[in-house]
Structure 1
Amino acid sequence: MTNDTLTVPAEKKPRYPKSVPYIIGNEAAERFSFYGMRSILVTFLVAQFYNPTGDKALTTVAEAHANESTHFFVTLAYTLPFVGGLVADWFTGKYKLILYISMVYCFGHLCLALFDSNINGFIAGLVLVAIGAGGIKSCVSANVGDQFDATNQDLLSKVYGWFYFSINAGSMFSTMLIPWVYKYYGAQWAFGIPGILMGLATLIFFLGRKKYVRVPPKGVNRNNFVFISFYALTHMSQKKAGQSLLDVAKGEYDPEKVEGVKAVYRVMAVFFFALAFWAVWDQCLSEWVLQAAKMNLSVNLGFTKFDVIAGQVNTVNTIFLLIFIPIFNYGIYPFFDKIGLKTTPLRRLGVGLILTALSFVIIAMIQANIDHGGSPSIWWQILAYAVLSAAEVLVSITGLQYAYTHSPASMKSTMSGIWFLVVALGNLITAAVNNNIKNHGYFEAHLAGANYYWFFVGFIAVFIVLFMFIAPRLKEHNYIDDAENENKVVSETEKL
């Protein structure tokens, strides 16, 4: 008698998609190119175009002009992800959009390097870079998720970890290197090297073309945020008593999608307060850089002493973020939750706004010292960066988390695009203030020197006061909790 043995095949170990190295390499090189260019942009604009003779009488207007140009550039770069995402989903797919817009991106960098003495050519280059960076922004991270299926989903979080590590690595190294290149080798090399890295990013992405999972475009989806909102606004007369404005669209569009759009508007009420943060955050890559150039840039660490370049100081923001994220997630949040002060998303946002205002109080005091002929140590600005970085953890990361948990699955991509639009609108506000100063408007006389930063302290303070009154009244709907509760009900039913 023989015994037949049933052999159970061993479960295959999940494998990383072969496309992952190309995506991560592409992202590191692209972020190097973007932040490398930005690290010197505002100082270059002042020195080359707006005040080449260094005339002190022109300093305020020239710096305002450079700040305006920089913030308009960021506004365009963060407006386009919403458009790029729609184009990729409806018409081209992510692969084609990323590849073709990356070529535009490269040409923009080429213009920056070639037209370093031609303002019109240089501005054209900035527009092309903004189109490139903004056009692909909403597609690149989504393209990472497309590479995974049910067999390797467990590896997705690890790959996103490496993906975001590549972002920080690319930006940190470029912020250290490019200001040094600009100082010692000039603008053409300083803008040319980021262009070379963007060319490398495009090449890396192209080399992986046969290994990508490509999700085809699905055509125009009429049940989207824009169409439903437009229909509701143009049919307001059909609104019945007891209905919300968006309910009038339920006869023409999928009712479930209409409810999803309602959720988007609820989240946008929270995003309104994040607007104050984004109106000032990007100043650390423009206004703060110009301020740093007027400070004592000597750094004494005890065992060594060296001088930094104004454009390099922003590197500490990345360092502080890498330190603060685990401290907040594994230390501060659990501590306050344990003692009964639950760190809800809205509370985190409120504290983040307070810290943002505090960082600008420090910057305003530094500027007051400079205005009176002082040369304060760069360590004071590093302190301001530490406070602003803590605020970034509380506002930016919390905002993205809130958008994800408080919007239905069908609207999560839309919420990401709207988050980028909030960044754009914040920069547009700051650009408008600097435009007024540049054109000798009301703000030129009233926001000179430290008053400029005190203005933004007051600006944030208004949002903080509004937040204190409105936040307790905001209606919240956590879709993740709903899904977990549904799963729990199903589980309990199965037990019965």
Structure 2
Amino acid sequence: MTKDTLAVPAEKKSRFPKAVPYIIGNEAAERFSFYGMRSILTLFLVNQFFNPTNNPALTEQANAHGNKLHHLFVMVAYALPFVGGMIADWFTGKYKLILYVSLIYCLGHFLLATFDGGLTGFEIGLLVVAIGAGGIKSCVSANVGDQFDATNQDLLSKVYGWFYFSINAGSMISTVAIPWTYEHFGPRWAFGIPGILMALATIIFFSGRKKYVKVPPQGVNRNNMVFITWYALTHSSKRKPGQSLLDVAKESYLPERVEGVKAVYRVMVVFFFALAFWAVWDQCLSEWTLYADKMDRNINLGFTSFTVLPGQLSTINTVFLLLFIPLFNYVIYPWFDKKGLKTTPLRRLGTGLILTALSFVVIGFTHKSIEHGGTPSIWWQVLAFMILSAAEVLVSITGLEYAYTHSPKSMKSTMTGIWFLVVSFGNLITALVNGQIESGGWWARNLRGANYEWFFVAFISVFIIVFMIVSPRMKERNYITDPYVGENEIAANAEKL
């Protein structure tokens, strides 16, 4: 190189934020604690409290009671991310909320392990764990994105890949280890170990306190969905011809935020149909565990054989998800697109609902065999898990993608919170059905045995039929491909404010 040659500085390589290992480690340990205790929860409740003598006359009511508590627990856990996100954004910031609520989370696990012989104390522990898990849920994933800036945005997708890998790794290990612990060392250790892991998660998170980028709280934002909707409802008399109900709020709120709220309600129509999926998905961690306990769980692979514990079956879901996500994204979707049958989000959702119903058909026949004294092979439940996992890819992942692409930037966090609320309401439906079975309600008397599965097959089928009628008429707007619709109207109205 001559003296006259200009030296071009080497492009600076992006680096991962120093906080990343603490966030990944925290998430893996927390998911271990959450899914570990859930893997044995229903089985423990039935065996310990509701039917400890295994009396056949009490089976239906005991199972329904255990299932009801499990789904109420999940309902609370998934209802609170919306609240936790608002508290963090408005008052505390993400770091403080995650830290303080994690301590509450640890207390809940301590109560579960301590009151393994007392139902009231155990139920209090479940409530406290649900508050902890739900309170931090929306903040933890958002905290990942807060650590990045313009210098390393290109690494964000890789970090989220590791983040979701840690979720699956934590849940997979726990759903193998905790049922084994329960079988050999009893409930105190089986609930105690998840508590230890949650304490470890809190310590890991606290250890990175000097390395986090901490976004301060922004105070109460009046341009939010609740305030805008309330204003529109209470000032509906001001609506002009041709205006939608929410357009009334543009006279007092930022027009782009009003448009964002309108987008949220459009997406919520789609979310309504996902409700059918979430009303049944969590049953694979509750009802299906009870069925597995009465099935032939011996696995013979030729070169080895072993017996699967009931709570370990949910590990199959994680395995299938890890296989199906790349399969659908890189093989199935492109193949259908090349054939001229474009795999739009709405088509994926509809197909996912059909597969969800089919998985319950398989479980229905399995339950019927158990009901008549048979011991069907556990491979039937593996088949049901395979179908349900494919449905999860089509419904859950598609739903999150749809929420992101069909809502403006200012409303994406709100949409995530609403998605979790759909999970919560789905579990509430299942809890109410099991509550009716437990109390012997007149219509629930027909849901005994395999009729339970046929009820949910019919329930999902109603959603499928309505979806097929409504989906062609749904108004859609993709904010990624068409982000600037309505700019003139927004600018004109903004001048009035």
State the TM-score, normalizing by the size of structure 2: 0.96
The residue number in structure 2 matching 1:490 is: none
The residue number in structure 1 matching 2:148 is: 148
Tell me whether 244-253 or 14-23 shows the greater mean CA deviation. 244-253
Q: In structure 2, how many angstroms separate the alpha carbons of the residues matched to 1:393 and 1:16?
A: 29
Q: 5 Å matches for 1:277-292? A: 277-292=277-292
The residue number in structure 2 matching 1:467 is: 467
Do structure 1's residue 235 and structure 2's residue 225 form an aligned pair? no
Do structure 1's residue 102 and structure 2's residue 79 form an aligned pair? no
The residue number in structure 1 matching 2:477 is: 477
The residue number in structure 2 matching 1:83 is: 83
Shift of 1:484: 9.7
Q: In structure 2, how many angstroms separate the alpha carbons of the residues matched to 1:192 and 1:418?
A: 32
* Structure 1: gaps spanning 5 or more residues: 487-496
Q: 5 Å matches for 1:34-113? A: 34-113=34-113
The residue number in structure 2 matching 1:489 is: none
Q: In structure 2, how many angstroms separate the alpha carbons of the residues matched to 1:455 and 1:237?
A: 44
Deviations 1:40-81 (A, max 9, x none): 000010011111121111110011001110000000000000
Shift of 1:7: 3.3
Q: In structure 2, how many angstroms separate the alpha carbons of the residues matched to 1:484 and 1:378?
A: 53
Q: In structure 1, how many angstroms separate the alpha carbons of the residues matched to 2:444 and 2:53?
A: 21
- Is 2:68–2:431's contact at 8 Å kept on the other side of the alignment? yes
Q: SS state of the match for residue 481, structure 2?
A: helix
Q: In structure 2, how many angstroms separate the alpha carbons of the residues matched to 1:17 and 1:443?
A: 57
Q: Which amino acid aligns with 1:269?
A: V
Q: SS state of the match for residue 48, structure 1?
A: helix
Do structure 1's residue 115 and structure 2's residue 106 form an aligned pair? no
Q: In structure 2, how many angstroms separate the alpha carbons of the residues matched to 1:68 and 1:184?
A: 26
Q: In structure 2, how many angstroms separate the alpha carbons of the residues matched to 1:234 and 1:296?
A: 60
Q: In structure 2, how many angstroms separate the alpha carbons of the residues matched to 1:405 and 1:288?
A: 34
Q: 5 Å matches for 1:328-339? A: 328-339=328-339
Q: Which amino acid aligns with 2:35?
A: Y
The alpha-carbon distance between structure 1 residues 162 and 485, as it changes in their structure 2 partners (threshold 3 A), is: farther
Shift of 1:234: 2.3
- Is 1:266–1:475's contact at 8 Å kept on the other side of the alignment? yes
Shift of 1:440: 1.2
Q: Which amino acid aligns with 1:450?
A: A
Do structure 1's residue 131 and structure 2's residue 138 form an aligned pair? no
Deviations 1:23-42 (A, max 9, x none): 00000000000000000000
Deviations 1:325-352 (A, max 9, x none): 0000000000000010000000000000
The residue number in structure 2 matching 1:33 is: 33
* Structure 2: gaps spanning 5 or more residues: 487-497
Q: In structure 2, how many angstroms separate the alpha carbons of the residues matched to 1:433 and 1:445?
A: 11
Q: In structure 2, how many angstroms separate the alpha carbons of the residues matched to 1:3 and 1:481?
A: 49
Q: 5 Å matches for 1:264-343? A: 264-343=264-343
- Is 2:433–2:444's contact at 8 Å kept on the other side of the alignment? no
Q: Percent identity?
A: 73
Q: In structure 2, how many angstroms separate the alpha carbons of the residues matched to 1:4 and 1:470?
A: 70
- Is 1:433–1:443's contact at 8 Å kept on the other side of the alignment? no
Q: SS state of the match for residue 480, structure 2?
A: helix
State the TM-score, normalizing by the size of structure 1: 0.96
The residue number in structure 2 matching 1:212 is: 212
Shift of 1:248: 1.5
Q: SS state of the match for residue 294, structure 1?
A: coil
Q: Which amino acid aligns with 1:336?
A: F
Q: In structure 1, how many angstroms separate the alpha carbons of the residues matched to 2:66 and 2:335?
A: 44
Q: In structure 1, how many angstroms separate the alpha carbons of the residues matched to 2:73 and 2:483?
A: 40
Q: Which amino acid aligns with 1:8?
A: V
- Is 1:296–1:376's contact at 8 Å kept on the other side of the alignment? yes
Q: In structure 2, how many angstroms separate the alpha carbons of the residues matched to 1:150 and 1:193?
A: 40
